[in-house]
Structure 1
Amino acid sequence: MRRSYLAGRWLCLALSTSGVALAQEAEEPLLVPAVEVEEAPVAPGSPEEASRRDPSGALTVIRVDEFGGAARDTAAMLSTAPGVTVQDVGGYGQSKSLVVRGASSNGTLVLLDGIPLNGAGGIADLSRVPAALAERFEVLRGGAGARYGSGGLGGAINVITRRPGATPRVAGELSYGSWDTATGWLSATGPLAGGEALLLVHGGTSSGRFPYSFDPSPTLPGDALIERQRTNNDARGAGGLLRLRRELGRGFLADLLGELSFDERGLAGTAQNPSEDARQSGGRGSANLRLAGTLPGGVRTNARAYFRRDRLALSGGPWGQRDAQVQLLGGMEVEGQVLLGGWHSLSALVGVGGESVSAAETNAASGGEPTWLRASVMAMDEMLLWDGLLTVAPSLRVERAGPYTLLSPKVGVTVALPAGLEVRANAGRSHRAPSFLELYVRQGTLLPNPDLRPESALYADAAVVHRSEVSFASVGGFASLYEDLISYEAYPPGAAKPYNFANARVVGLEAEGEWRPHPLLSGAFSYTLTVSSDLQRDGRFYLRELPYRPRHKLAARVLGGPRWLTGRVEVVAQSAHFLTRDGAMSLPGRTFVHAGLSSTFGSRTELTVSGEVRNLFDVHAEDFVGYPLPGRAVFLSVAGAFEPGVPSESSSASRTEAPP
């Protein structure tokens, strides 16, 4: 019985038609109402699919096409997942990073179809990942070291790009709104040279000159605020994506992706210390080739080679004119999965790669420009017991990251219960090797420290999940112990230097759910309670809450109406939190309300007109230490799609490439 159950599940995975289907087959929650999508087949068990990399993990899949209307933003969509908080410098194109389960921003891995996007500083800037690229986001919460490697202390975000289609299709969208913010994209898919192709171009620009409230004398409580305009806050960017897929015969598939982007923005500084001429420009080029299929003996295999070049240049302000910093990253991975004994499957991965960074100033300890070799070996055994009611998935990764050897174990358990209930639990350990900047690169008054040790996290979580035909709900708790955290401390006479000195504890509660009582009405929500404690043995900080970790965070959305007039309301709120480790400065809580309307007409030629009001009640708020966030903003968009020869039913179902 056990053998037949697992064999059936194996066959189901082998015949699955898409990453979305895999996530749904594995019963992963969606933050948004599910849509039946007819998609082209992909290779089963892709190593980029979070549902296969971590079958028991706390995973949320966010579909871009469910965020209808204008002003879609990658960071804003990701912030609707439980356990995820955005750190925002404010405005279109300005820096946005994530805190997941209380880990610092450099403790969250962000990947583009499996290619790491975390820069030389260890932080991935989501403003450089436009939503136009993505079909969906996979948000894996909890330590991701065993399955994804160094850097995943709090979790991993995988951006799954749009996929080609066998049917010719042209789609695009133009949006315009407040502060001369204009964005657009255009895509074309169809057959090419015996395979399928996708070509997508995108771009955007904004003046960023929004008004904000300024306190001219913050030390005097109750004084009047004045209104100012945000200056040197403009941003612009453009890029493209080319993806080719082709069946090679004998059950193998090749998938080639190339991505190129350029961006430039002003660095406006804080409200109290504005910058008039600081600028940043950058560019990214990446390529990813994946081969997937089944070898003789039933071994499902995925192999991929990837490369990324990331350029970043700073000028003006405190930096003056500096040489551009260039990070190069590349490698290869081979992963295989085989059914053994009829009741468990064994997965193994071997990877090797390297990375380097150029910088204006480096530490002599780097031996010149820093270069690292990376290598890793991972194994996971997914065991199905009691006729599949109990799944146990232990895994282990041994990784060499430059001079550091990292050992990341994990065990996950899933228990299927009656009445649509399920229990999931995970425990393990993850690491983050120090970044090149922390180790070797001098950045003005920020000095490097080649003696740093890797950060680490011990973590555990458990959740109860319930599903029915019209609803989904999950409630769970998590706990993480972060050790050897790296932080910059004063280094006389006037510099700062990173040290391993801090430990921290984070515990919390995560809840999420969705409800679809009627085809024309749906709702979704997520809530996170995060309680953090600084464990550094210093009376100024001991047991205080960590900065930038709001205790409460809520996201809720309601969507309703027919296709020709669909309305939506979204609420995003977070509580007050500290800005400094001693608790002397804090940031007030805030609640943003967004609302929009969309109308879609046509079948083979489809047209959608949308209006969106962001921050409906014009709440003036700040993030970080004095970075103003935009107030009320209005956006309008027109989107269209053309599929020659496709009847109405197919056109309305195939929404993957053209969000409404």
Structure 2
Amino acid sequence: MKPGIAALLLATPAAAQPFDPRLPEEALITVTAPAGPGRVFTPVVGLSDEALLDRQPRSVADALRGLPGVSVRTNSRGESVARVRGSDERQTLVFLDGAPLAVPWDGRVDIGLIPAGLIGGLSVRKGAGAIEYGANAVAGIVDLTTRQAGGVAVAQTGPYGLKNLSAAGVMPLGGLSLTLAATHQAQGALPVARLSALPFSQPASDRRLNTNLAATSLFAGLGGTAGALEWRASVLNIDAHRGVAPESDRNPSSARFWRYPDWNLTQAQIALELPIGAATARAVGWRQWFGQEIESYRDASYTTLRGREINDDDTVGGRFTLSHPIGPATLRWSLSGQLSDHHQTDVAIPPGTRPAALLYRQSLASGGVEADVPLGNTRLTLGLGLDRSANPRTGDKPGQPARQAATFSAALALKPADRVSLTVSGGRRNRFSGARELFGEALGRFLPNPALLPEQAWLADAELGWRAGRFTLTLTPFWQRVEGSIGQRIVRTNGANLRQRFNQAPATGIGIDAAMQVPLADGLTLELTGTALDASSAGQPLLQRPAHESMLALDWAPKSGLGEAFDLRAELRRIGPARDLADDGTLARLAPATEFNLRARVPVLRLGKAQVSATAAIDNLTNAVILPQLGLPQPGRSIRIGLIVGG
């Protein structure tokens, strides 16, 4: 496939290239992404397919852990979500081959169900990203690309019924390129780190209650050319069912006991690129079908239903961009839109009768232009756009006015000295409340607030990079202020404490991302990444935002005459203290924690041109209690062994 369509699949005309932490020219540190002539991007960090093999992630959530400025947590619904620089997870959009994966009703997607075996490259862009990403891409973008060449198969197993089976490959088919991938993830339960951290709704067992999972994904992509036109079409299906751990910090009378007997996401998309003289036109179209069923139980026995929520979503969207020179500058025009229908049926038990489904509809549109302006030895990119949201159907809730807001940005790249780079960027981005935030009740947990206003985020950062041979250092101080930021409060209604989202006072975050890579010996590399963050609103800390997160890693991959001999990796992750909202509305402290992880990949034989390697992975070696939020600690020690073929 030509470079042009590969860039298109990353959702920007010259998107971030993934990085291999062992190559000096492609370091695993936060850098300004490679761009077309004159274009300046905001900071980016990523992983190549080789780095993904070394880290042995099962899902995209696993792969993101440890990247500077990126925090991953599992929420009370059992979903794994990413936050960039302390932003809300709904302010971070996830793209697959150029199309957004978020379910519009909720504004996010469970990255714990996106299999790592499908991914050929991963990058995270931070700050005021390109206009092409559209509305709601506020503080960060996770760009995922499916495999573009070669093939790999993984088989792993471990205690508690853990299974991870995946295979992905690319093969020529006449003048076409065919990509196929399949993955199955399963676990009987998650391990418990320490029973004393779970005072309620947890039996005296090392298996976390109600945390089983089974998920199967299938992917097929086909690409080729027709004259000057490049094209690629693909479809992804993820089918899962799972339990959700109960909130074990509180009395069972105020905890939720949920299961997902059915969760299914299907997304079909097509990408096109056509040169027209000196201009280039690109388009991405997508159609997403999503359905899930949530069962709510009365207690931790999970035997008596109290209610059922049935969701069905249908989304269609597209993006068109046109880039062309104008004098010494380059202009990129962008237009995107998305329309989503959400049908929801809430069944109370008793009586158990199924009412008519409620229909919610939301439309998003965004348009704008970017200009790359040469300024001698410096480069400047300016952007201006307009975002709009409307909710023409609101179920049984009050109607909503359409809302719109301008967006703008600037990024300047300098070369102050040899081997030193500086990029300064900033701007404003908008996020419109999702329909679930406006109207959702979450089976009696939330009090709706249809009066929520859009969030407007002001963003600024300055990235300083220094490279000396294979040594690299990057420091990125950043500042962000979100006006109309959405928080949660406790409202006493009819004798019950319900949560309600509201537009709190402006939220401000200030911090620094840092990354350093040091070659210690041939094949031995030291990696240090981290983020320090101070995020608050009206003098109160934002919830579930650790004061710092860092990772120290040693990666040993010596070379032999036949290539890589083996890869051994040790990681130490430190998560700082944070605050969370207790059931009574008071602030509670989340204690800091330290996590140790080990990885090994050892070649054992060759099958033709394919290398077969034995693998081993241990997560949370010391069984540390890590609390991303109250009552829902991360799993205890987890062990996996298996084989990898290819890669």
Q: TM-score, normalised by structure 2?
A: 0.84
**Cα contact 1:357–1:371 (8 A) shared by 2:** yes
Cα distance in 1 for partners of 2:416, 2:626 equals: 45
Please tell me whether the aligned partners of residues 378 and 396 of structure 1 are also in contact (alpha carbons under 8 angstroms). Answer: yes
Name the SS for the 1:211 alignment partner: coil
Counterpart of 2:440? 441
2:543 is aligned to 547
Superposition pairs of residues 34-45 of structure 1, within 5 angstroms: 34=23
RMSD between superposed Cα atoms in Å: 3.2
1:588 partnered with 2:591: yes
User: For 2:359, what is the secondary structure of its paired residue?
Assistant: coil
Q: Cα offset for 1:213?
A: 2.0
Asked if the contact 2:131/2:370 (under 8 Å) is kept, the reply is no
- The match for 2:21 among 32, 38, 52 is 32
Q: Quick check: 1:401 aligned with 2:389?
A: yes
2:529 corresponds in structure 1 to 526
Partner Cα separation in structure 2 for residue 123 and residue 354 of structure 1:
16
Alignment of 1:209-608 (within 5 A): 209-215=190-196, 228-250=206-228, 252-272=229-249, 273=252, 278-296=259-277, 298-317=278-297, 320-341=306-327, 343-360=328-345, 369-386=359-376, 389-402=377-390, 403-445=402-444, 446-489=446-489, 490=491, 492-493=493-494, 494=496, 495-516=498-519, 520-535=523-538, 543-562=539-558, 563-580=564-581, 584-600=587-603, 601-602=605-606, 604-608=609-613
Q: 1:123 aligns with which of 108, 123, 126?
A: 108
Which consecutive residues of structure 2, in runs of 5 or more, have no partner in the other structure?
27-32, 299-304, 348-356, 391-401, 559-563
How far 1:483 moved relative to its partner? 1.2
Deviation at 1:380, TM superposition (A): 0.2
Count of equivalent residues: 590
Change (3 A) 1:529 1:422: same
8 A Cα contact 1:71 1:612, kept in partner: no
**Letter paired with 1:371:** R
Give the Cα–Cα distance (whole angstroms) in 1 for the partners of residues 120 and 369 of structure 2. 29
Do the aligned residues in 2 keep the contact of 1:488 with 1:496 (CA within 8 Å)?
yes
Aligned ranges 1:85-124 → 2 under 5 Å = 85-88=71-74, 94-119=78-103, 120-124=105-109
Q: CA deviation at 1:62?
A: 1.8
More strand by share: 2
Q: Distance in 1 between matches of 2:467 and 2:8?
A: 17
Q: Does 1:137 align with 2:142?
A: no
In the superposition, relative to structure 1, how do residues 18 and 554 fare at CA in structure 2: closer, same or farther (>3 Å)?
same
Pairing 1:44-193 to 2, within 5 Å after superposition: 55-67=40-52, 68=54, 70-88=56-74, 94-119=78-103, 120-144=105-129, 146-163=131-148, 165=149, 171-193=152-174
Q: How big is the shift at 1:567?
A: 1.2
Given that 2:297 and 2:307 are in contact with CA atoms closer than 8 Å, whether structure 1 keeps it comes out as no
Q: Find the counterpart in structure 2 of residue 647 from structure 1.
A: none
Shift of 1:55: 2.9
Write out per-residue CA displacement over residues 28-73 of structure 1, whole angstroms, 9 at most, x where no aligned residue: 7847223999xxxxxxxxxxx9957983201112224313264544
Unaligned runs of 5+ in 1: 1-13, 38-48, 220-224, 536-542, 642-657
Give the secondary-structure state (helix, strand or coil) at the position aligned to 2:63: helix
Instruction: Give the letter for the 2:569 counterpart.
Output: R
**1:65 aligned counterpart, secondary structure:** helix
- Cα distance in 2 between the residues matched to 1:50 and 1:565: 30
Kindly tell me: are residues 127 and 407 of structure 1, through their superposed partners in 2, closer, same or farther at Cα, counting changes over 3 Å? same
CA distance in 1, matches of 2:215, 2:594: 29
Task: Quote the Cα distance in structure 2 between the aligned partners of 1:604 and 1:269.
Answer: 48
Partner residue of 1:618?
623
**TM-aligned CA deviation for residue 605 of structure 1:** 3.0
Letter in 1 for 2:248: A
Q: Identify which of 187, 197, 204 aligns with 2:185.
A: 204
Contact residue 183 and residue 218 of structure 2 kept, 8 A: yes
- 1:69·1:598 contact (CA, 8 Å) conserved in 2? no
Cα distance in 2 between the residues matched to 1:426 and 1:216: 43
Q: TM-score, normalised by structure 1?
A: 0.82
User: Secondary structure at 1:205's aligned position in 2?
Assistant: strand
Query: Post-superposition shift, 1:302?
Result: 0.9
Contact kept, 8 Å, 1:280 with 1:313, in 2: the verdict is yes
Letter in 1 for 2:514: A
User: For 1:216 and 1:199, how far apart are their aligned partners in 2?
Assistant: 43
Task: Name which of structure 1's ranges 619-628 and 455-464 shifts more when overlaid on structure 2.
Answer: 619-628
